[in-house]
Amino acid sequence: MIADITIGQFMPGKSFIHKLDPRMKIIVMTALIIFVFLAKNMFSMGLMLGFVLVAMLLTRISPVMYFKGLKAIWFLIVFTSVLNMLYLRGDTVLFQWSFFTVTKEGLWQSAFIAMRLVLIIIISSMLTYTTSPTDLTAAIERLLKPLNVVKVPVHELAMMMTIALRFIPTLLEETEKIMNAQKARGADLESGGMMKRAKALIPILIPLFISSFRRAFELATAMDCRCYTGGEGRTRLNVLRYRFRDIFAFVLVAAACGGIIYLNTLAPALVH
């Protein structure tokens, strides 16, 4: 069933990281991603790697899942690494063929850059794996609230995100129904070239569009009936609250970041 696709890949759990306030998670994970770029030598990168691996284990989500997250961009990582390896020059030539030269320094650097990419993917997967889309939306709405001052419709954007998340499975289910209905009428969706298959999609997209508009009107009426008048004066069932563990996580990440800056000074930078 296509409707089984889970959005954001949330994996419910009760780990320390699952229980962190989603706002704090966004803050510390953003900080970690920034510091992945600031770690410039083996020592600081080692600390970052260690820190992220420990956090990964703390989520109690199987490393296989993180590996799956990496699989999607595996090609990108390999591709950029190979390019870097050939492009970055050093003194110690390891291998030369026609105009391709691989140096020891180039090898190290490309490995370093690949490591950065891998870490970023792991950190962002950690955020989406341990935070429900609802919490994520609520946190983003809360964190971006100051932008209201410059007239960014933060609440409306968050509401749109919530409704999108709510309706994606419904619309996927509907797409499947329409596809089956068209197949039952003899529509051939699988064979033929690009053009033919693209054309075959039209009788699926049109009913889907029409029904989406109908849904939108009905939903708007239902929201009116439930006294929705926008973000002003709204309260929330689940109020986000920082707890001790959030402060703890913050201090831990701050210490790691401090450590990275210190370790950067102990050895020459590998990359810039």
Partner 1 sequence: MEHTNITSDNLEVQISAQDVYFAYESTDGGEPKEVLHGVSIDIRKGEFVALLGHNGSGKSTMAKHMNAILLPSGGKVLVGGMDTADEELLTEIRRTVGMVFQNPDNQLVATIVEEDVAFGPENLGVPSEEIRVLVDDALKTVGMYEYRRHAPHKLSGGQKQRVAIAGIIAMRPKCIVFDEPTAMLDPRGRQEVMDTIDKLTGELGITVVLITHYMDEAARADRVIIINDGKILTEGTPKEVFSQIDMLRAVHLDVPQPTELAQSLRDMGFSGIPADILTPEECAKAIFAARQQQ
Cα distance from N-terminal residue to C-terminal residue, the chain: 47
By CB under 8 A, which span of 42-50, 107-115, 161-169, 177-185 interacts with partner 1?
161-169
Q: Is residue 98 involved in binding partner 1 (CB under 8 A)?
A: no
Q: What is the dihedral of CA 199, 202, 204, 209, to 10 degrees?
A: 160
By CB under 8 A, which span of 32-40, 107-115, 158-166, 253-261 interacts with partner 1?
158-166
Size of the site for partner 1 (CB under 8 A): 31
Q: Is residue 233 involved in binding partner 1 (CB under 8 A)?
A: yes
Name the minimum Å distance from CB 227 to partner 1: 4
Q: In terms of Cα–Cα distance, which of 16, 31, 6 is closest to 250?
A: 31
Q: What is the DSSP letter of 7?
A: G
Q: Which of residues 169-228 bind partner 1 (CB under 8 A)?
A: 169-170, 173, 214-215, 218-219, 221-228
Name the minimum Å distance from CB 59 to partner 1: 20
SS3 state of residue 103: strand
Q: Is residue 64 involved in binding partner 1 (CB under 8 A)?
A: no
Residues 153-178: b if buried by 16+ CB within 10 A, e if exposed: ebbeebbebeeebeeebeeeebbeeb
Q: Is residue 5 involved in binding partner 1 (CB under 8 A)?
A: no
SS3 state of residue 262: helix
CB neighbours of residue 208 within 10 Å: 17
Nearer to partner 1, 166 or 196 (CB): 166
**Continuous segment of H or E residues that includes residue 79:** helix 74-87
Question: Which residues here bind partner 1, judged by CB under 8 A?
Answer: 3, 132-134, 162-163, 165-166, 169-170, 173, 214-215, 218-219, 221-229, 233-239
